[in-house]
Structure 1
Amino acid sequence: MIDAERLKKNWSLVAARGDQVPLYFYSTLFLTYPETRDLFPMNMAAQRDKLVNALGAVVSNVDTIDAVVPTLQALGRDHRKFGALRGHYPAVGEALLATLEHFSGPHWTPAIAADWAAAYELVAATMADAADAAAHYAPAWWDAEVVGHERRDLETAIITIAPGTRLDFVPGQSVSLCTDLRPRAWRQYSPANAPRSDGTIELHVRAVDGGEVSTALVSLLRPGDSLRVGPAFGTGLTLRPGSGPVAMIAGGTGVAPMKALIEQIAATPRPVSLYWGARSPAGLYCLDQMQALAARYEWLELVACVDEDLFGAGARVGSPAELAVAHGRCTGADVYLCGPSGMVESSGKYLVGAGIRADAIHFEPAGA
C-alpha cells in the first residue's frame, strides 16, 4: 500500500530546492531520452517548472487520486497535442524518480522509491488510458483558420478562428493555441462566445511582457493564417445549475469567458451583474461589445471599474470585487472570478473575508 503521507513529506523536502528541481529533471530526461525534446517548446522558460511541479503535487497526493481522475483524464487527452504517446510516460517517470532521489539525499529509501513508482504508474496509466480512448473519437488537435483579427489597442486583439472540424466546448472552458510563429509553444485562452452554429470561436488576447506567444498572436497574426487548437479543458468557470443571481468579477481579458457565460445564460435568463475592471478606461478594450449586451438583456447589469479615472470616462473607481460586495451583488449569488492570477487570488480572499461562502466562489485555479 502506498504511504501518501510519506510521499507528501518527501515532495516538500524536494520542492524546497526550487528551480534546481526542474532543471535537473529536464536535463536528466533530455540526456537519457533525447527523442522527448521534441515534445517541448524551443524556449523552455515558460515550461520549465510546470511538468515536474504538477507531477510532484499530483503524485504525492495519491491518497485523493479519485477526486482528480477526471482532471488526469482530461490532461491525458490534452497532452496528445504535444505528440505524447504511452511510450513516453516511462521515460518521464524514470527522470522524475532520478530527480527525487538526487534531491532527497540520505532521506531516499527503497520504500519511498517503491511508493513513488507505484503512485506515478497509477497517474500515468490514468492519463495514457484516456488518451488512447480519445484517439478513437477526436483528433489530437484541430487545424483552424484565422478569419478575423481586430486590434483593439496596442496590446489587445480580438481574434476569430474557424476550426476545420467542429470543436466542442462549454462556456467557461479554455482551449490552447499553437502558432507556427512560435512552434510547439501552447498557451490557453478562454472562448468569448457560447458555441455558434458556424463553429467559429472568438478569442481575446493581450500581449504580456515577455510573452512570446501572446505578442505573436496580437502583433503578427493575420486573417488567413492557421493555428492549432487543443481540446477544451477546465470546469472551474463553467456555469453551475440554478436560477439564482450570478455575480461576475473580471479583470482585463478575463471578461472573455464572462461574455461566453452571458450568452449561455441568455437561453434561460437569471439576474447577472458583471463587474469588469482595468487600471484605466483604456484597458476596457471591448466596452462597446459589453454595453451592447447589457442594452440587449434587461437581466444583465454591467459595471465598468477602474483604478483611476483621470479623464472622467464614467467608470466606477475601485476594484470589481470591492464594488460588487459594496453593492450587495455577491450575497446569495454564484460568483465567478477571472483575470490575472493575482487579481483572482486577492478578489477571492476579499470575498471570503466579506462573508461570501467559499463554495459559491468559482474560478479556474492558477496553472490548472
Structure 2
Amino acid sequence: MSNLSRLLKESWTLVEEHQDKLASYFYARMFLNNPQLRDLFPVQMDVQRSRLLGAIVTAVQTVDDPEHFEEYLQSLGRDHRKFHVQPEHYEVVGSALMEALRTFAGDQWSIEFDQAWSDAYAVIADKMIAGAEADLSNPPYWHAEVLYHERRSRDIAVMTVKPLQPLEYRAGQYVSVETKYQPRLWRVYSAANAPRKDGSLDFHVRAVGAGWVSSALVRRVRPGDMIRLGAPMGQMTLDRRSTRDIVCVAGGTGLAPIKALIEEMTRANRTRWVHVFFGAKDRDDLYDLACLNRLAARYPWLSVVAATSDDPDFPGEHGNVSDIVARYGPWRDHDFFVSGSPTMVKSTLRTLAEMQVPAIRIKYDAFGDV
C-alpha cells in the first residue's frame, strides 16, 4: 500500500461512522458556496445525498490500482455530463469535501491527512474532467422511446427502449435512467441484451419499496413514453482473450447483465461452457427462466440451474444461490460473473473466496455497498 493510500484510508476511519451527517454537511456547504449547483440535483435528496460523496470515496480508495482508478474516473466524468457539470464546479465540490472532512474528524485531522485528500481530489477532478472532454462527440444523455413494456411479476417489468441517437456500449455494462416523473433523479440499470443493429436496449426493473425511479419504470411507464439514458459504465464485460469456461450467478433482476453476456456468447462462442445459476425468493421472481431454458435447449454449451430460497414446492434447487453454486463446484479454473443485490453479491463473493477462486477471475455488479 502506498503512503498516500495509507493516509487516505487511515483518515477515512476518523469520519466513517459519521458519513451520513458528513454527506448532509458536504451538500449544505456545496450549495451554500454555489447556490446554482442545487439546480443540478433532484428535488428528493434522500438517496442522492450519499451518491456523490460515495463516488468520491470509492475513487479515493482505488488509488493503488492505477488502471482501474483512471478507467473508473473517466467513466464517471463521462457519466456526470448528464448533470451538466462544468470544470469550475469541481473546485466547489472539492472545497465542500475538505470542509466536511475537517469538521467531522475534529482534532484528529492532521496536515498530512489534509494534504493527502487535497492531492487525491485534484487527481480525481483532473481525470473526470478529461473523461468528460474526451466524450464531447456524444450527447450528455440520450433520449429514448419506450417500445415495449411487460409486467412479469408483482413488482418486476421487462421493457425495451430505443435511443434516438446511437448509444454504444458493451454487453454487461449499465446506464443510468431518468423518467419524466422525477426529473434529475437517475438510477442505474444494466442492459439485458448485447448491442443490436437497431440500437434498442432491454431493461429488467424491480420496483423497490418507494423507489421513485423503479416504481415509475414498473408501474407508470408505457410504450410511447420517453426516458433519458446516461453514458454506459461498468467493467462486467467478457474478456475475449480468455478461454476458460464461465460461471454466471444472478439474483433476481441481476439476471439482466448476465443475459446480455449470454447473448454475446451466442454470436461467437464455440469452445467455452457457460453455467448459469439463477436464484430468487420464489418462482414468481424467476421472471425470465423460460427464456433462459429456451436458450439452453438451443445452445449445448449453456446450462441453467434455477433456485428459490423461500418456495418449498418449486421443482428445482432450494436455498441461497451462493450455496447452490458451492454444491456444483469446484470452480477454480472458471471465470465468474456475479450480479444481484448487495447481500447476494457479498454472500457469493464470500463463497467463492472459500472455494479459492482467484479474485482476478471474478467480475461483479451490485448497485449498493459491497
Q: TM-score, normalised by structure 2?
A: 0.92
Q: What is residue 261 of structure 1 aligned with on the other side?
A: 261
Per-residue deviation at 1:54?
A: 3.0
Instruction: Write the letter of the residue equivalent to 2:262.
Output: I
Is the Cα contact below 8 Å between 1:8 and 1:61 reproduced in 2? no
Partner SS state of residue 344, structure 2: helix
Question: Following TM superposition, by how much is the alpha carbon of 1:252 offset from its aligned partner in structure 2, in angstroms?
Answer: 0.3
Residue in 2 aligned with 1:206?
206
The alpha carbon displacement at 1:18 in A equals 3.0
Question: Which deviations, in whole Å up to 9, do the C-alpha atoms of 1:173-192 show, x marking residues without a partner?
Answer: 11110011111111111111
Give the conservation status (yes or no) of the 8 Å contact 2:345–2:366. no
Q: Which residue of 2 aligns with 1:234?
A: 234
Going from structure 1 to structure 2, the CA distance change for 1:57 and 1:289 (only over 3 Å counts) comes to closer
The structural deviation recorded for 1:60 is 6.3
1:58 and 2:34 equivalent?
Answer: no
Structure-1 separation of matches of 2:178 and 2:110: 42
Aligned sequence identity (%):
39
Partner of 1:249: 249
Contact 1:206–1:214 (CA under 8 A) maintained in structure 2: yes
Contact persistence 1:39–1:83 (CA under 8 A): yes
Question: Could you tell me which residue of structure 2 aligns to residue 299 of structure 1?
Answer: 301
Match of 1:92 in 2: 93
Q: Deviations over 1:59-112 (max 9, x none)?
A: 366565564011111100110011111111111011111112212222345554
| Residue 287 of structure 1, CA deviation | 1.6
In structure 2, what is the equivalent of residue 125 of structure 1?
A: 126
Aligned to 1:272: 274
Contact persistence 2:338–2:362 (CA under 8 A): yes
Report what 1:290 is aligned to: 292
- The amino acid across from 1:302 in the alignment is V
1:62-211 residue pairs with structure 2 within 5 A? 62=63, 64-65=65-66, 67-135=68-136, 137-211=137-211
Kindly provide the CA deviation profile for residues 31-82 of structure 1, in whole angstroms up to 9, marking residues without a partner as x: 2211111121111111112222332453366565564011111100110011
* Distance of 1:351 and 1:166 partners within structure 2: 38
Q: Which amino acid aligns with 1:273?
A: H
Q: Letter of the aligned partner of 1:355 in structure 2?
A: Q
Secondary structure of 2:76's counterpart equals helix
Contact preservation (8 Å) 1:236, 1:365: no
Change in Cα spacing, 1:314 to 1:3, as seen in structure 2 (3 Å) is: closer
Aligned-residue CA RMSD in angstroms? Answer: 2.1
State how far apart, in whole Å, the 1-side matches of 2:344 and 2:273 are.
24
Q: Distance in 2 between matches of 1:12 and 1:201?
A: 41
Q: Deviation at 1:306?
A: 0.9
- The answer on whether the counterparts of 1:160 and 1:203 sit within 8 Å (CA) in structure 2 is yes
1:118-155 CA-partner distances (Å, limit 9, x unpaired): 321221011112212211x1111111000000111120
Aligned partners of 1:175 and 1:188 also within 8 Å: yes
Tell which deviates more after alignment, 236-245 or 43-52. Answer: 236-245
CA displacement, residues 246-266 of structure 1 (integer Å, 9 cap, x when unaligned): 111111011111111111111
The alpha-carbon distance between structure 1 residues 18 and 330, as it changes in their structure 2 partners (threshold 3 A), is same
Normalising by the residue count of structure 1, what TM-score does the alignment of the two structures yield? 0.93
Report the counterpart of residue 215 of structure 1 in structure 2. Answer: 215
Give the secondary-structure state (helix, strand or coil) at the position aligned to 1:223.
Answer: coil
2:101 partner SS: helix
CA distance in 1, matches of 2:290, 2:60: 46
Q: Quick one: structure 1 residues 326 and 62, their matched pair in 2 at CA, closer, same or farther if it must change by over 3 Å?
A: closer
For the residue of structure 1 that corresponds to 2:159, the secondary structure is strand
Flag structure 2 segments of 5+ consecutive residues without an equivalent: none
Alpha carbons of structure 1 residues 315 and 166: separation in structure 2 relative to 1, 3 Å: same
Name the count of aligned residue pairs: 366
> 1:282 & 1:133 partners in 2: Cα distance?
44
Partner AA of 2:46 in structure 1: A
Partner-residue secondary structure (3-state), 2:338: strand
Distance change in 2, residues 1:153/1:225 (3 Å): same
C-alpha distance in 2 between matches for 1:298 and 1:353: 30
What is the CA deviation profile of residues 196-234 of structure 1, one whole-angstrom value per residue up to 9, with x for unaligned ones?
111110110011112111001000000000011011101
Contact 2:322 2:348 in 1 (8 A): yes
After superposing the two structures, state which structure 1 stretch, 344-353 or 11-20, moved more.
11-20
Distance of 1:315 and 1:298 partners within structure 2: 20
State the one-letter code of the partner of 1:28.
R
Shift of 1:309: 3.5
Q: Does 1:18 align with 2:24?
A: no
Note the C-alpha offset of 1:241.
Answer: 2.9
Provide the C-alpha distance between the structure 2 equivalents of 1:66 and 1:293, rounded to a whole number of angstroms: 35
Residue identity in the other structure for 1:250: A
SS of 2:348 mapped into structure 1: helix
Q: Give the 3 Å change call, closer, same or farther, for CA 126–290 of structure 1 in structure 2.
A: same
The answer (yes or no) to whether the contact 1:11–1:60 under 8 Å persists in 2 is no
Offset at residue 365 of structure 1 (A): 5.5
Q: Shift in Å at residue 289 of structure 1?
A: 1.3
CA distance in 2, matches of 1:337, 1:88: 35
Which piece of structure 1 moves more, 195-204 or 15-24?
Answer: 15-24
With over 3 angstroms needed to count, the CA separation of the structure-2 counterparts of 1:308 and 1:344, relative to structure 1, is: same
Residue 320 of structure 1: how far off its partner (Å): 2.4
Give distance in 1, aligned partners of 2:346 and 2:86. Answer: 35
Q: Which amino acid aligns with 2:72?
A: T
